[in-house]
Amino acid sequence: MTVTTPLVNGTSYCLIKAYSQDSYKQAIEFYSKFLALDDCSTDNTTQTTTLSNGSISLKIKLEEDKTLQSKTESQIQFLKSIKDTKDWRSHVAESLVFNTSNIMLNKDTLTTLNAPTQSFPSDLFPMQLYTIDPLGNIIGVTSTKNAVSTMPTEPPSTKKAKFSTSTLPSKVHSFTDLSYRMQTTNNYPSLPGKQIIDPTKPKKAIAVMTSGGDAQGMNSNVRAIVRSAIFKGCRAFVVMEGYEGLVRGGPEYIKECSWEDVRGWSTEGGTNIGTARCLEFRQRDGRLLGAQHLIEAGVDALIVCGGDGSLTGADLFRSEWPSLIKELLENGRISKDQFQKYQHLNICGTVGSIDNDMSTTDATIGAYSALDRICKAIDYVEATANSHSRAFVVEVMGRNCGWLALLAGIATSADYIFIPEKPATSSEWQDQMCDIVAKHRSKGKRTTIVIVAEGAISADLTPISPADVHKVLVDRLGLDTRITTLGHVQRGGTAVAYDRMLATLQGVEAVNAVLESTADTPSPLIAINENKIVRKPLVESVRLTKSVAEAIQAKDFKKAMDLRDTEFVEHLKNFMAINSADHNEPKLPNDKRLKIAIVNVGAPAGGINSAVYSMATYCMSQGHKPYAINNGWSGLARHESVRSLEWKDMIGWQSRGGSEIGTNRVTPEQADIGMIAYYFQKYQFDGLVIVGGFEAFESLHQLERARESYPAFRIPMVLIPATLSNNVPGTEYSLGSDTALNALMEYCDVVKQSASSTRGRAFVVDVQGGNSGYLATCAALAVGAQASYVPEEGIPLEQLQQDIETLAESFESAKGRGRFGKLILKSTNASKALSATDLAKVMTSEANGRFDAKPAYPGHVQQGGLPSPIDRTRATRFAIRAVDFIEEQQETIAAARAADDDFKLDDKVVSATATVLGVRRSHIVFNPIRQLYDFETDVEARMPKVIHWQATREIADHLVGRKRVD
């Protein structure tokens, strides 16, 4: 292998030799696919092929030699044999490494080619990726600055921040990463109408409609679709009143939309374009009218946001389209030109439903907002229940899906739930409920909450109503019982942050989908799976959804449960486990029961109490003894603050904010690690759960390193990340970040309302988050902020000047219209020179009277009050997984402890027992603290080296028309 003219991160030209015809052909195919190179020229005379992409050129030359080919084959077999045990780079004289902008795309290609790989630092989250080519060479791609660096490459346009080592976003597509679908460029306009569009190409017209029941977040979905369509050079339409609007037609019902028409919609509940169920559209004549009206309006693509019924109608409409337009032509209702122009109708679906009952997607638009309403209502009801020692029967929506009832049951520590997927016989549910409620009451609980899904049934399909449950509680237990039917309150109010973001990202992807669809493309459904936005076949998704209801009607409840996603099943098991607590016989035998401690480290975050409650109650159901280390490491070192956790003392913790067992930022080394080891030995802990942020991350690192000196730390230890900054390496989600995001979003909504009331007013909102811009970035997407400044980028003066000009242009174009308050979000650490007050003064001064800016400081309001349902339910899931991990690692750690004097600190199996529980691509994973700390952490900046959420900024900027400056 000959290499010439080296570049900083690769090679501009290289020559590779093949020694057989087969390997020559295989090499051409391999490099064409792996490095995305084009076949520029093939010279059969010299038997060479040149591949290039403009930046690099690779020449493959055939020199047939059986001896050398045999050596090549032996080399390949040897390298394959050591793939899992040794680093290939240490067994070859040289390797060829290219820089890549998307290492996950290279990884997917190698999987398709069935090629062996080695990834560093981890297979799940690689920064360097190596493989063996068909000629026996080690070939690598890297997203780092060079082949031996762990520092990701910065894009040329990135302004380097003081605290940042990288601004390259993770190529593992998270649910906030859609830049791989839609690139935001540096020259797109801040206002519509200035796009440079090819006049020779006809404009595609994309219409959006909302149908069926309304759901919070539908307005965010419509806004994203309208603005993305305009940004893509298309005409954007909205269909008023759902399918009824299609049937009625005309400009009153099928309206063309401008950029400004949807301004501020993200902050509004319901659907501003209306929704209605239309009996006429169920008939062919109604669909015929709908087709005619779309053609008259010039629409050739339709995006429908609704439930399974609405999406079924949409796909039927598309399948009938050829026959509908043919009939319209024969009847003279459309012209031949129209018939030729509108041969195909592209349909795409986004799921808007509070029930979360659509198969193939983890969440539907509006579901978490409805869950938020339910949890708040139950929190309020429980206060009056506690005052009078009452029982409350709460009915929630959901049709044939028990998701709302199940997650509300977990989030509020309900005593009993009724869901259609897991019914009992009429006598069984009465006995079970009364047994559980009676045990809870006997332990001193003053309140009883029973949640009934509207589709609740007994095993013989007899409906179970709130009145039925009320009667049993009164007659058999003599409880003072009330019924609360939440009804349409569950659909009310504005969307929570998660639904705004989900609806926005799905809207962007829906536009991409219809633009990329052809006549042969099956209608797609935009879903969220594995923490990323994906497309699924609409027909198949609807079919599976309807199969659940069919299975329930057939009394095949096992099939109905199997058709739900695995997370639903896990949530149900978790609810049953924590609900039994210490009231039933423990699951594990005496010799398997452990002493497990939990400690909070760092600032308070929503969901910390939920994690403690769930960990303790799950331990009780298993037979373990849960302990709380109160007031962090300093409390333990100074005051021996170890307390056993009792069920009665924790009643209500699941829904409380703050930290009931206390927390602070002190690490073990700061507190006195020797004393901490002494108390660990005294209480003979078998496992430790740490809940907290970056200080908790450092604490786990210190304890793991101290194992050599202190045998008491040779136990399984798990960190559950909990911080509003979401800056813990090894995870894309930390407890508390959703609660904080909702609190900040609500604050911004109020401030934006104030700004809208005063013409020409913008607010600069100071956002917490340390050196992480996660909170500012996601809030900017959720509230439609005009710009956000984060520590990873700083505040370049050129960008600030451009943002001021953009704001001025935007205010000038408003001409007194409503909903025109502007927000600028600034992370506190985005600039040490400019505070929010200083930034507001600069903007006001530079605006020269065109607008003025005021500072706003939400402060510790951002920590939130009551934790959000997402943080509560995820805390439960994480805590139970952490306890399961500690149980599973007992044999491994016992063997290591038995060695004592020969304890191997660097043994990978042993070091893996000190781990960070994280979420990556929606999977819960356990990453050893040693690997994360040494390879994936910028300790000085208190940040991960790779920022998984940063591409979200491009989408947020795109939807407000922000111009970016290089």
The arithmetic mean of pLDDT across residues 262-288, rounded, is 92
Q: SS3 of 318, please?
A: helix
**Digit-coded pLDDT (tens) for 314-360:** 989 999 999 999 999 999 999 999 999 999 999 999 999 999 999 88
- Neighbouring CB atoms inside 10 A of 864's CB total 26
Task: Examine the domain organization and report whether 236 and 355 are in the same domain.
Answer: yes
Q: Is residue 370 part of a domain?
A: no
Of the chain, the percentage scoring pLDDT greater than 90 comes to 65
**Digit-coded pLDDT (tens) for 795-850:** 999 999 999 999 998 888 766 555 578 999 999 999 989 999 999 999 999 999 99
Phi, psi of 139, rounded to the nearest 5 degrees: -120, 135
* Residue stretches of the annotated binding site for ATP: 213, 277-278, 307-310
Task: Examine the domain organization and report whether 724 and 745 are in the same domain.
Answer: no
d(CA 559, CA 794): 53
**Digit-coded pLDDT (tens) for 6-57:** 333 455 677 889 999 999 999 988 988 888 887 777 878 788 888 887 677 7
Which CATH number do you get for residue 929?
3.40.50.450
- pLDDT exceeds cutoff 90 at 364: yes
The arithmetic mean of pLDDT across residues 745-757, rounded, is 89
Task: Examine the domain organization and report whether 855 and 884 are in the same domain.
Answer: no
Q: Is residue 353 part of a domain?
A: yes
* Residue stretches of the annotated binding site for substrate: 353-355, 390, 397-399, 454, 482, 488-491
Q: Which residues pair with 537 in a beta bridge?
A: 524
* Residue stretches of the annotated binding site for Mg(2+): 308
Which CATH number do you get for residue 57?
3.10.180.10
**Digit-coded pLDDT (tens) for 648-683:** 999 999 999 999 999 999 999 999 999 999 999 999
- pLDDT exceeds cutoff 80 at 201: no
Q: Which residue has the higher pLDDT, 856 or 52?
A: 856
Task: Identify the DSSP state of 101.
Answer: S
Task: Examine the domain organization and report whether 308 and 351 are in the same domain.
Answer: yes
Six-digit token string for 501: 């973001």
Q: Is residue 288 part of a domain?
A: yes
In Å, how far from its chain's centre is CA 574?
21
- pLDDT exceeds cutoff 50 at 721: yes
pLDDT value of residue 169: 32
Q: What is the pTM of this model?
A: 0.82
Residue span of the structural domain in which 791 resides: 740-865+951-960
pLDDT value of residue 192: 41
Six-digit token string for 580: 């039994």
Task: Examine the domain organization and report whether 344 and 467 are in the same domain.
Answer: no
- pLDDT exceeds cutoff 70 at 170: no
Task: Examine the domain organization and report whether 252 and 314 are in the same domain.
Answer: yes
Which CATH number do you get for residue 441?
3.40.50.460
- pLDDT exceeds cutoff 80 at 160: no
Residue type, 575: F
pLDDT value of residue 285: 94
pLDDT value of residue 200: 58
pLDDT value of residue 720: 98
pLDDT value of residue 196: 44
Q: Which of these is catalytic: 214, 355, 766, 803? A: 355
d(CA 416, CA 603): 33
Of the chain, the percentage scoring pLDDT greater than 70 comes to 91
Task: Examine the domain organization and report whether 228 and 254 are in the same domain.
Answer: yes
**Residues, the chain:** 966
Give the pLDDT band of residue 143 (cuts 50, 70, 90): confident
- pLDDT exceeds cutoff 80 at 694: yes
As for how many domains the chain has, the answer is: 5
* Residue stretches of the annotated binding site for beta-D-fructose 2,6-bisphosphate: 665, 723-727, 761, 768-770, 854, 860-863, 942
Give the pLDDT band of residue 88 (cuts 50, 70, 90): confident
* Residue stretches of the annotated binding site: 213, 277-278, 307-310, 353-355, 390, 397-399, 454, 482, 488-491, 665, 723-727, 761, 768-770, 854, 860-863, 942
Q: Is 652 left (phi over 0), alpha (psi -120 to 50) or beta?
A: left
The arithmetic mean of pLDDT across residues 917-933, rounded, is 89
Task: Examine the domain organization and report whether 418 and 505 are in the same domain.
Answer: no
Task: Identify the DSSP state of 173.
Answer: -
Q: Is residue 188 part of a domain?
A: no
Task: Examine the domain organization and report whether 535 and 613 are in the same domain.
Answer: no
**Digit-coded pLDDT (tens) for 514-530:** 999 888 889 999 998 76
Give the pLDDT band of residue 199 (cuts 50, 70, 90): low
Q: Is residue 556 part of a domain?
A: no
d(CA 258, CA 262): 8
Task: Examine the domain organization and report whether 127 and 83 are in the same domain.
Answer: yes
Phi, psi of 361, rounded to the nearest 5 degrees: -130, 145
Active site residue 337: no
The arithmetic mean of pLDDT across residues 398-425, rounded, is 93
End-to-end CA, the chain: 39
**Digit-coded pLDDT (tens) for 771-780:** 999 999 999 9
The arithmetic mean of pLDDT across residues 552-573, rounded, is 88
Is the CB of residue 497 less than 8 Å from the CB of residue 369? no
Arithmetic mean of pLDDT over the chain? 88
Q: Is residue 160 part of a domain?
A: no
